[in-house]
Amino acid sequence: MEELGPDIDDLHEHYNFTASKGQEPLRVDKFLMNFIEHATRNKIQQAAKDGCIWVNDQPVKSNYKVKANDQVRVMLSHPPHESLLVAEAIPLEIVYEDQELMVVNKPAGMVVHPGHGNYSGTLINGLLHHIEGLPLNSDERPGLVHRIDKDTSGLLVVAKTEHAMTHLSKQFADKTSKREYIALVWGLVEEDSGTIEGHIGRHLKNRLLMDVFVDGAYGKEAITHYKVLERLSYVTLVSCELETGRTHQIRAHFKHIGHPLFNDERYGGDQILKGTTFTKYKQFVDNAFKILPRQALHAKTLGFVHPKTGEFMSFDSEIPDDMKACIDKWRSYAANSSTV
């Protein structure tokens, strides 16, 4: 689960191009003003501060001088055109719905809202087709109280009225909502339970990653509580409860303690990090990656107080088939290994 705000999944790519051969040296903010319609210089300078302007794949400041043949890429916190928010007849797995809210079970592979190269087929596109007049959150996203990553499956609550939006958003901000995730991580987690603490903010070099800053000098406070459910040879199945909801929180926190999520490409979990050097084992892991071609993370439970009735509502979802099959494969491997 993630708090809403101008972060990785809020960014929209506007340009990725090469400066002409005759380009005279020019500040990148002035240079981009010539290309981005309706963009202010302040907005472009803010993008530079956020590390969202790259020249030749390196983040640059707003005073960087663009030269001939430079490859320039910029991402901003608003969509390049209004038509992104269009209704689409996308099937939704609705777990619960009333006049105030809806709970959906998002499949892996579905992006929550348009942006960052995903301009259709998102949850919001489907919601707009299903419900008219969705309220906007503080980032002008219809119905969204919180979100989960594209390749994470699981439960989300959607607000259908202004009252529900305000009430539910406050619960997430005040940390009174309940959320449990199931994750499969590399390595044997030694403690049966524990808490991972460390501010989370954008990686200082790779702005598409989040990093953990233990000294708190950068990023925002992040707290993840976990319990070990099963140790399966070279991986561990864990349950995670989020006290905070930062972008990529579970993924970044477990990478930080040396246990990246299984097959998490962005955080290095798509490599064989633990185990033997046997060819048979390598083949086994490769097959497990094929069974679960995404990070092993599922938002299993969700709890909150209903904004109208005051009743505490709790929802649970099944671990999806791809993740189940991967876990079963590791169970079988662990059982056979222990008998050898």
- Whether 223 and 271 share a structural domain: yes
pTM for this predicted structure: 0.79
- 307 lies in the same domain as 177: yes
Q: Assess whether 215 carries a catalytic annotation.
A: no
**Do 257 and 236 contact (CB within 8 A), yes or no?**
no
264 shares a domain with 226: yes
Does residue 27 sit in the same domain as residue 130?
no
Specify the higher pLDDT residue, 3 or 250: 250
pLDDT 10s digits, 282-309? 999 999 999 999 999 999 999 999 999 9
Do 206 and 301 belong to one domain?
A: yes
**CATH for 281:** 3.30.2350.10
d(CA 47, CA 75) in angstroms, rounded, equals 7
Give the pLDDT of residue 141.
82
Instruction: Please indicate, yes or no, whether residues 56 and 177 belong to a single structural domain of this protein.
Output: no
Together in a domain, 134 and 201: yes
Q: Do the Cβ atoms of 210 and 201 come closer than 8 Å?
A: yes
Question: Total structural domains in the chain?
Answer: 2
Work out the angle at residue 333's Cα, subtended by the Cα atoms of residues 328 and 338, and round it to the nearest 5 degrees: 125
Residue-wise pLDDT for 255-286, tens only, equals 999 999 999 999 999 999 999 989 999 999 99
CB proximity list for 23: less than 8 A, separation 6 or greater: 66, 67, 68, 69, 70
Q: Domain span at residue 31? A: 20-67
Instruction: Please list the alpha-helical segments (H only) found in 50-155.
Output: 123-130
Please indicate, yes or no, whether residues 132 and 229 belong to a single structural domain of this protein. Answer: yes
Residue 338 has pLDDT above 70, yes or no: no
Does residue 87 share a domain with residue 62? Answer: no
Instruction: Give the helix ranges, DSSP H, for the chain.
Output: 28-33, 41-49, 123-130, 162-173, 249-256, 279-291, 321-339
Residues 209 and 321 grouped into a single domain: yes
pLDDT at 38 over 70: no
Residue 20 phi, psi (nearest 5): -70, 160
Q: Which entry of 7, 10, 70, 149 is annotated as an active-site residue?
A: 149
Q: Which two tokens stand for residue 217?
A: 């000098």
Q: How many CB atoms lie within 10 A of CB 298?
A: 25
Whether residues 186 and 311 share a domain: the answer is yes
Q: Tokens in use for 144?
A: 């969204």
Pairwise pLDDT comparison (51 vs 327), residue with the higher score? 327
